[in-house]
C-alpha cells in the first residue's frame, strides 16, 4: 500500500493461549454494634484551633474575676507561691462534663524570669523572688476549657524588701493589759495582723516575758493562734505576769509585750480596769470610687476585750463630706461622687472606736478613699497653669456668721480685693454645696451681696429642731463647686 509515495510494511503479532489456577478465600464479618458517643468523642480531635474555640460551645459565663490582682513579695524569700482565685464557668448542658480549666502563662505578654504557673490550680510560683527586680512585673495567666474557650487574668507582682508583720492599731510594742480573777476562764483575741507581703504565713507564738516561768494558765484556743484562753486557778498568786507575743513571717520577727493581771476573787478591781480599747475584727480596706457612680462600704464588726463595755463609733468625714454620708444605724458609708465637682485623688475618713468603761479607751482608724479622676478633670489644672496668658490668684472662703435659723454670711477672700469682689458677684447657687455632718445636703439660696465680698445666704435646714447651735457653729462644712476666677493679661 502506498500513500503519498511512502511504503508501510504491516507487523504480524502471534498470540497463544494458557490457563492459571485461582484459589478462592471467604470470611464472615463480626456482629456490628452502635457507636458509644462518649468513647468516640475526642479520639480524632486532640488539639484546639489556633485561632479561637469552634462553635458550638459547651460552657458559658466564663469568668476570671480575681479578689486581688497586685501582690508585693519579699525579695529575701527564696521561693513563694501565690494562690489565685480559680476561673469559673457554667455548663450549657446538664449532661455535659463539669468545666475544668488548664492554666498556663500567656507568653504573648513576656512573663518575667522565675515565674511559673501550676496548670491545675493556676497558682503563681516565683523562684527566686529576687529575680523580679525593682520594677513591677506583669503576669498574665490563660485558662483553657475542654471546649477550647480561653480567658485570661492579669496580675502585677512587685518585689520589695520584707516588711515585718504587726498588729493593726497598736502603737509601739505593748499590747493592752488583760485582767482576770482567780478561778475564772476568759478568752482574749489579738488584733488583726497587717502584712503587706503576699504569700507569707504568719506564725504567732507566746514566749516567757522574763519575770517568772512561762504561765501555765494561758494557751492558744485554736490552731489560728489568734485567740488565747486564760484560766488561772484559785491558788494562782495575785500579780502581773508578763508574756511576749511573737509574730514571725519567716524572715522578720515582731515582739509585743503583754501583762496578764491576776486579781483576787473578792477584788472589785476588775470592774474598774479597762482591758483595752475596742477594735475592728477585720482590716479596713481602701474604697475605690468612680465619678458618677454610687458605692457603699459597711464597717466590719467591732469587738471590745471588756465584754460588758458598749462600743460607740464616731465618724469624721472631713473633706469627704461633699460626696460621703454615714448611716449610723446601718454602720454604712454611702459615696456619691457627682460629676461637675473637682475632687482630689484620695481622702481620709477618721473613725474612732470608744468604750463606755469607767476608764474609757478609744482607738483611731483611717478609712482611705481613692477616686479615679476623669481625664478631662485631671488635665484641667495643668492646662490652666501652662497657659501663659492667664493669671491665677489664691482665694478662699470664710464663714462670718451663721445662726440656727439658717442665715449664713459668707466672706470671699483673695490676695487681691478686686478678685474677691469678682468671685462674690459671679458666684451662683448651683456652685454652692452645704453639708452638716451625718445630715443630708442642705439647700442654699443667695439672698443678696451685703458688701463687696460678703454674701448673705439662706440655708434650708430639715428637722431644724434637731440642729443644735454648737453643731451649726462648729460642724458646718461648705464646698464651693468647681469655680476658677482668672484675669486675662492686657
Does 37 map to a domain?
A: no
The per-residue pLDDT for 419 is 76
Section 54-60 average pLDDT: 82
* 376-397 residue pLDDT tens: 554 444 333 344 445 666 677 7
The per-residue pLDDT for 489 is 34
Distance CA 29, CA 27 (A): 7
Q: What CATH number has the domain bearing residue 411?
A: 2.60.40
Domain span holding position 93? 59-160
In this structure, the answer to whether residues 308 and 253 fall within a common structural domain is no
Does 17 map to a domain?
A: no
In this structure, the answer to whether residues 213 and 235 fall within a common structural domain is yes
DSSP letter string over 285-343? PPEEEETT--EEEEPPPEE-SSTT--EEEEEE-GGGGGTEEEETTTTEEEE---TTS--
- In contact, 317 and 324? CB cutoff 8 Å: yes
Does 309 map to a domain?
A: yes
56 or 285: which leads in pLDDT: 285
Question: Grid coordinates standing for 115?
Answer: 515565674
HSE-up (13 A, CA, CB side) for residue 375:
0
* 88-110 residue pLDDT tens: 999 998 888 999 999 999 877 77
The per-residue pLDDT for 214 is 59
In this structure, the answer to whether residues 336 and 309 fall within a common structural domain is yes
Name the nearest CA neighbour of 456 among 427, 418, 486: 427
Section 153-174 average pLDDT: 89
* 60-84 residue pLDDT tens: 999 999 988 889 899 898 889 999 9
In this structure, the answer to whether residues 191 and 107 fall within a common structural domain is no
Section 472-486 average pLDDT: 47
Percent share of the chain, pLDDT over 70: 79
Section 357-366 average pLDDT: 85
Section 366-374 average pLDDT: 87
Q: What CATH number has the domain bearing residue 148?
A: 2.60.40.10
In this structure, the answer to whether residues 156 and 170 fall within a common structural domain is no
In this structure, the answer to whether residues 370 and 429 fall within a common structural domain is no
Per DSSP, the three-state class of 475 is helix
322 burial level (CB within 10 Å; 0-12, 13-18, 19+) = buried
Name the nearest CA neighbour of 456 among 403, 415, 394: 403
- pLDDT of residue 428 exceeding 80: no
In this structure, the answer to whether residues 170 and 156 fall within a common structural domain is no
Distance CA 168, CA 191 (A): 6
C-alpha 210: how far from chain center: 40
Residues in the chain: 490
In this structure, the answer to whether residues 172 and 156 fall within a common structural domain is no
Residue carrying C-alpha cell 489560728: 224
339 or 52: which leads in pLDDT: 339
Q: Output DSSP code: residue 269.
A: G
- pLDDT of residue 463 exceeding 70: no
Last residue of a domain, one of 322, 351, 375: 375
178 band by pLDDT with thresholds 50, 70 and 90: confident
- 5-9, 41-45, 233-237, 396-400: which is most confident: 233-237
In this structure, the answer to whether residues 86 and 151 fall within a common structural domain is yes
Does 459 map to a domain?
A: yes
Last residue of a domain, one of 273, 301, 316: 273
Does 381 map to a domain?
A: no
Per DSSP, the three-state class of 82 is strand
- In contact, 158 and 136? CB cutoff 8 Å: yes
The domain total for the chain is 4
Section 10-23 average pLDDT: 80
435 band by pLDDT with thresholds 50, 70 and 90: low
333 or 461: which leads in pLDDT: 333
The per-residue pLDDT for 375 is 65
In this structure, the answer to whether residues 148 and 185 fall within a common structural domain is no
- pTM (predicted TM-score): 0.48
The per-residue pLDDT for 103 is 96
Does 479 map to a domain?
A: yes
Per DSSP, the three-state class of 446 is strand
Alpha carbon distance, N-terminus to C-terminus of the chain: 122
Distance CA 199, CA 202 (A): 10
Which residues on neighbouring strands pair with residue 73, listed in sequence order?
159
The per-residue pLDDT for 488 is 38
In this structure, the answer to whether residues 153 and 170 fall within a common structural domain is no
In this structure, the answer to whether residues 241 and 285 fall within a common structural domain is no
Average pLDDT, the chain: 79
Last residue of a domain, one of 112, 139, 160: 160
Distance CA 194, CA 396 (A): 40
Distance CA 405, CA 457 (A): 11
B/e letters for 118-143, b = 16+ CB within 10 Å, e = fewer, are eeeebbbebeebeebeeeebebbbbb
Does 229 map to a domain?
A: yes
Does 292 map to a domain?
A: yes
Amino acid at each position: 500500500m502506498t500513500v503519498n509515495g511512502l511504503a508501510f510494511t504491516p507487523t504480524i503479532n502471534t498470540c497463544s493461549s494458557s490457563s492459571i489456577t485461582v484459589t478462592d478465600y471467604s470470611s464472615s464479618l463480626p456482629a456490628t454494634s452502635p457507636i458509644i458517643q462518649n468513647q468516640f468523642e475526642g479520639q480524632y480531635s486532640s488539639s484546639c484551633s489556633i485561632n479561637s474555640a469552634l462553635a458550638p460551645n459547651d460552657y458559658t459565663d466564663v469568668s476570671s474575676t480575681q479578689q486581688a490582682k497586685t501582690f508585693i513579695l519579699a525579695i529575701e524569700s527564696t521561693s513563694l507561691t501565690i494562690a489565685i482565685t480559680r476561673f469559673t464557668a457554667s455548663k450549657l448542658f446538664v449532661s455535659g462534663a463539669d468545666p475544668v480549666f488548664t492554666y498556663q502563662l500567656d507568653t504573648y505578654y513576656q512573663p518575667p524570669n522565675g515565674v511559673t504557673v501550676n496548670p491545675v490550680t493556676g497558682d503563681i510560683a516565683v523562684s527566686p523572688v529576687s529575680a523580679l527586680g525593682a520594677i513591677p512585673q506583669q503576669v498574665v495567666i490563660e485558662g483553657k476549657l475542654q471546649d477550647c474557650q480561653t480567658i485570661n487574668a492579669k496580675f502585677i507582682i512587685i518585689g520589695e524588701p520584707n516588711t515585718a508583720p504587726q498588729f493593726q492599731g497598736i502603737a509601739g510594742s505593748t499590747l493592752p493589759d488583760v485582767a482576770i480573777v482567780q478561778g475564772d476562764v476568759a478568752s482574749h483575741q489579738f488584733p488583726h495582723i497587717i502584712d503587706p507581703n503576699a504569700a507569707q504565713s504568719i506564725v504567732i507564738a507566746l514566749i516567757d516575758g522574763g519575770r517568772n516561768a512561762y504561765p501555765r494558765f494561758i494557751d492558744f484556743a485554736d490552731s489560728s493562734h489568734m485567740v488565747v484562753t486564760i484560766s488561772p486557778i484559785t491558788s494562782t498568786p495575785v500579780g502581773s505576769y508578763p508574756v511576749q507575743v511573737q509574730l514571725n513571717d519567716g524572715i522578720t520577727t515582731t515582739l509585743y509585750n503583754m501583762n496578764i493581771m491576776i486579781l483576787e476573787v473578792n477584788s472589785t478591781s476588775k470592774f474598774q480596769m479597762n482591758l483595752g480599747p475596742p477594735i475592728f475584727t477585720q482590716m479596713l480596706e481602701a474604697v475605690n470610687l468612680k465619678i458618677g457612680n454610687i458605692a457603699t462600704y459597711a464597717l466590719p464588726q467591732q469587738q471590745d476585750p471588756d465584754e460588758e463595755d458598749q462600743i460607740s463609733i464616731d465618724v469624721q468625714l472631713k473633706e469627704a463630706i461633699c460626696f460621703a454620708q454615714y448611716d449610723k444605724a446601718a454602720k454604712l458609708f454611702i459615696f456619691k461622687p457627682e460629676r461637675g465637682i473637682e475632687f482630689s485623688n484620695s481622702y481620709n475618713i477618721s473613725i474612732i472606736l470608744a468604750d463606755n468603761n469607767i476608764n474609757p479607751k478609744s482607738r483611731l482608724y483611717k478609712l482611705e478613699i481613692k477616686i479615679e479622676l476623669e481625664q478631662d478633670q485631671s488635665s484641667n489644672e495643668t492646662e490652666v497653669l501652662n497657659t501663659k496668658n492667664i493669671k491665677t490668684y489664691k482665694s478662699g472662703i470664710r464663714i462670718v456668721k451663721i445662726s440656727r435659723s439658717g442665715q449664713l454670711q459668707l466672706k470671699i477672700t483673695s490676695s487681691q480685693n478686686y478678685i474677691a469682689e469678682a468671685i462674690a458677684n459671679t458666684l451662683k447657687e448651683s456652685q454652692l454645696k452645704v453639708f452638716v455632718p451625718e445630715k443630708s445636703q442642705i439647700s442654699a439660696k443667695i439672698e443678696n451681696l451685703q458688701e463687696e465680698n460678703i454674701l448673705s445666704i439662706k440655708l434650708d435646714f430639715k428637722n431644724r429642731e434637731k440642729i443644735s447651735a454648737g453643731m451649726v457653729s462648729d460642724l458646718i462644712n461648705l464646698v464651693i463647686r468647681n469655680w476658677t476666677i482668672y484675669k486675662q493679661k492686657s
